[in-house]
């Protein structure tokens, strides 16, 4: 049986739980903490795979739900897997599709077998079981697969959360049994809502299984940053120190900085690419809304210290013009800037841990990152 991944913690912050690691995967080494851009349908929106490499990314995320519906895992497999299909030489993690299916509240039905749902594309009926979720991800040929889980709303009742934990554990065991020896690594997902006792109990169940990594799911789904951090602060340091720890769907730069301080290693979110399309650009002084009239004649770059393609060549005024004119180049440049910012954020995070100064560094940068948080939430 092949070694699916090798994870090594290289350094820990002496004043907290932050840790610097090295994740060896089939398509290259990934330095942690790491942020994974989201390539929902086999593409990180508005960004060529070669550009992603040049920005410093070696691990991206794909979406099982969307790829199974279009183009279908058989089409991807005929190309030799998702890496060849999309021309990406780096590593790929796919989620199980569960989160997207559970967001189709009026189109799905759950029982112990799995989730029956109708496609948002053509209304066709599908049954996603743990075995099917693993089979799809194996056909995609990805480096890290996620077990099928149940992600209830954060404000669901205790009974619904308990049932979700029970089924998630059962499905996790079925995913492990369904995996072929030749397949990629498989991560288990911890649910439980905002109840810390239930979360800890479910963490014990999932950690007892033979997963290569552990993930916190069911967060950043409307519960608010304070409640999310309560869960991350309680669960992060309690997760197995020998396995990579993945916080799913997070997020904003300040959320990542805080979560790293609680011992998390891996992050993904649509925020940098989605917000770029909405004209929001991240800086160390807080997010900037490029559409604002204040930038109409502003000849400065978005960030004078940024080396991304947008800041190296173009002014705020020009980027505003592209945004208001609905030009495709504007979307591309905004996306490149935000992805560069996130890559630089992770580089600085890793460097601060290496210096043994992460806790102090985080305190210094958080006020700037949160500078215009209220404006950001309106995008």
Q: Whole domain around residue 333: which residue ranges? A: 276-374
User: Which pLDDT does position 376 carry in this prediction?
Assistant: 38
Spatial CB neighbours of 114, under 8 Å, sequence gap ≥ 6: 127, 128, 129, 130, 132, 133, 148, 171
User: Which pLDDT does position 100 carry in this prediction?
Assistant: 84
Domain match, 263 and 297 both: no
Q: Inform me whether the pLDDT recorded for 131 exceeds 90.
A: yes
Tell me if 312 is assigned to some domain.
yes
Question: CA–CA distance from 55 to each of 58, 74, 92, 156, 340 (Å)?
Answer: 9, 31, 16, 40, 6
Domain match, 94 and 230 both: yes
Q: Taking residues 155-184, what's their average pLDDT?
A: 96
Residues in the chain: 379
Across the chain, what does the average pLDDT equal?
A: 95
CB atoms within 10 A of CB 75: 12
Q: Taking residues 135-153, what's their average pLDDT?
A: 97
User: Which pLDDT does position 182 carry in this prediction?
Assistant: 86
User: Which pLDDT does position 81 carry in this prediction?
Assistant: 98
C-beta of residue 137 within 8 angstroms of C-beta of residue 186? no
Token pair for 26: 């089939």
- Identify the active-site residue in 13, 149, 268, 303: 268
Spatial CB neighbours of 340, under 8 Å, sequence gap ≥ 6: 55, 306, 307, 308, 309
User: Which pLDDT does position 373 carry in this prediction?
Assistant: 43
Domain match, 264 and 292 both: no
Task: Give the separation between CA 1 and CA 345, rounded to whole angstroms.
Answer: 36
Biggest alpha carbon–alpha carbon distance for the chain: 61
Q: Inform me whether the pLDDT recorded for 13 exceeds 80.
A: yes
Residue written as token pair 């460097």: 351
Domain match, 345 and 256 both: no
Tell me if 241 is assigned to some domain.
yes
pLDDT-based confidence at 372, cuts 50/70/90? very low
Q: Inform me whether the pLDDT recorded for 1 exceeds 60.
A: no
Q: Inform me whether the pLDDT recorded for 183 exceeds 60.
A: yes
Tell me if 379 is assigned to some domain.
no
Nearest 5 degrees, angle CA 265-CA 269-CA 274? 155
Question: What is the signed CA dihedral for 178, 181, 185, 189, rounded to 10 degrees?
Answer: 20
Question: Which among 269, 296, 326 is the end of a domain?
Answer: 269
Tell me if 1 is assigned to some domain.
no
Task: Give the separation between CA 205 and CA 187, rounded to whole angstroms.
Answer: 13
* CATH number for position 136: 3.20.20.105
Question: Which among 250, 269, 288 is the end of a domain?
Answer: 269
C-beta of residue 69 within 8 angstroms of C-beta of residue 92? no
Q: Inform me whether the pLDDT recorded for 379 exceeds 50.
A: no
User: Which pLDDT does position 22 carry in this prediction?
Assistant: 99
Question: Which among 209, 240, 269 is the end of a domain?
Answer: 269
The three-state secondary structure class of 206 is helix
Tell me if 137 is assigned to some domain.
yes
- Identify the active-site residue in 95, 149, 255, 303: 95
Give the whole-number percent of the chain exceeding pLDDT 70. 97
Q: Is 195 a catalytic residue?
A: no
Tell me if 48 is assigned to some domain.
yes
User: Which pLDDT does position 40 carry in this prediction?
Assistant: 92
C-beta of residue 55 within 8 angstroms of C-beta of residue 340? yes
Tell me if 55 is assigned to some domain.
yes
Task: Give the separation between CA 19 and CA 264, rounded to whole angstroms.
Answer: 8
Q: Inform me whether the pLDDT recorded for 197 exceeds 70.
A: yes
Q: Inform me whether the pLDDT recorded for 378 exceeds 70.
A: no
Tell me if 292 is assigned to some domain.
yes
Q: How many CA atoms lie within 13 A of 128 on its CB side?
A: 30
Domain match, 282 and 221 both: no
User: Which pLDDT does position 97 carry in this prediction?
Assistant: 84
Domain match, 12 and 151 both: yes
User: Which pLDDT does position 375 carry in this prediction?
Assistant: 42
Write the burial class of residue 266 (CB in 10 Å: 0-12 exposed, 13-18 middle, 19+ buried). Answer: buried
Domain match, 99 and 245 both: yes
Spatial CB neighbours of 197, under 8 Å, sequence gap ≥ 6: none
Q: Taking residues 326-340, what's their average pLDDT?
A: 99
Domain match, 216 and 348 both: no
C-beta pairs of 77-81 under 8 Å, 24+ apart in sequence:
77/139, 77/140, 77/141, 80/141, 81/140, 81/141, 81/142
Q: Residue 161, Cα to own-chain centre: how many angstroms?
A: 23
Question: CA–CA distance from 186 to each of 1, 28, 147 (Å)?
Answer: 14, 17, 7
Counted domains in the chain: 2
Q: Inform me whether the pLDDT recorded for 156 exceeds 70.
A: yes
Domain match, 171 and 48 both: yes
User: Which pLDDT does position 2 carry in this prediction?
Assistant: 67
pLDDT, one tens digit per residue, over 245-283 is: 999 999 999 999 999 999 999 999 999 999 999 999 999
User: Which pLDDT does position 106 carry in this prediction?
Assistant: 74
Rg of the chain's alpha carbons, rounded to an integer? Answer: 20
Domain match, 38 and 150 both: yes
User: Which pLDDT does position 229 carry in this prediction?
Assistant: 98
Q: Is 364 a catalytic residue?
A: no
Q: Inform me whether the pLDDT recorded for 151 exceeds 90.
A: yes
Asked which of 25-29, 106-110, 334-338 is least confident by mean pLDDT, the reply is 106-110
Domain match, 236 and 332 both: no
Asked which of 16-30, 79-93, 106-120, 146-160 is least confident by mean pLDDT, the reply is 106-120
Q: Inform me whether the pLDDT recorded for 377 exceeds 80.
A: no
pLDDT-based confidence at 374, cuts 50/70/90? very low
Q: Taking residues 349-369, what's their average pLDDT?
A: 98
Name the packing angle between helices 196-207 and 225-235 (round to 10°): 40
pLDDT, one tens digit per residue, over 20-78 is: 999 999 999 999 999 999 999 999 999 999 999 999 999 999 999 999 999 999 999 99
Token pair for 189: 């997902």
Write the burial class of residue 219 (CB in 10 Å: 0-12 exposed, 13-18 middle, 19+ buried). Answer: buried
Domain match, 332 and 241 both: no
The three-state secondary structure class of 173 is helix
Task: Give the separation between CA 156 and CA 171, rounded to whole angstroms.
Answer: 20
């Amino acid at each position: 049986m092949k070694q699916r991944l090798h994870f090594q913690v290289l350094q820990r912050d002496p004043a907290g739980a932050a840790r610097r690691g090295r994740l060896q995967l089939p398509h290259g080494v990934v330095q942690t903490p790491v942020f994974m851009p989201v390539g929902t349908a086999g593409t990180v929106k508005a960004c060529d795979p070669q550009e992603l490499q040049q920005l410093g990314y070696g691990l991206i995320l794909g979406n099982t739900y969307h790829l199974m519906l279009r183009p279908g895992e058989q089409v991807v497999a005929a190309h030799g897997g998702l890496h060849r299909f999309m021309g990406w030489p780096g590593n790929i993690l796919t989620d199980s599709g569960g989160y997207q299916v559970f967001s189709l509240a009026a189109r799905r039905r759950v029982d112990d077998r799995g989730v029956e749902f109708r496609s948002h594309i053509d209304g066709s009926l599908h049954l996603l079981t743990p075995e099917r979720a693993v089979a799809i991800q194996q056909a995609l040929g990805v480096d890290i697969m996620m077990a099928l889980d149940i992600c209830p709303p954060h404000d669901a009742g205790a009974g619904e959360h308990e049932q979700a934990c029970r089924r998630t554990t059962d499905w996790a065991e079925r995913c492990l049994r369904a995996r072929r020896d030749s397949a990629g690594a498989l991560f288990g997902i911890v649910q439980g809502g905002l109840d810390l006792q239930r979360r800890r109990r479910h963490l014990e169940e999932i950690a007892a299984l033979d997963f290569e990594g552990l993930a916190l799911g069911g967060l950043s789904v409307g519960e608010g940053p304070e409640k999310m951090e309560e869960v991350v602060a309680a669960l992060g340091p309690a997760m197995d120190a020998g396995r990579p720890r993945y916080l799913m769907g997070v997020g904003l730069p300040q959320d990542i900085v805080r979560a790293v301080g609680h011992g998390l290693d891996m992050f993904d979110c649509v925020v940098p690419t989605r917000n770029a399309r909405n004209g929001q650009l991240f800086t160390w002084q807080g997010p900037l809304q490029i559409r604002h009239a204040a930038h109409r004649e502003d000849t400065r770059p978005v960030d004078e210290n940024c080396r991304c393609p947008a800041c190296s060549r173009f002014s705020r005024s020009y980027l505003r013009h592209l945004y208001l004119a609905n030009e495709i180049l504007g979307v591309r440049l905004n996306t490149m800037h935000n992805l560069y910012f996130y890559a630089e954020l992770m580089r600085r995070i890793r460097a601060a841990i290496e210096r043994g100064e992460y806790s102090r560094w985080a305190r210094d940068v958080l006020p700037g990152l949160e500078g215009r948080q209220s404006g950001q939430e309106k995008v």
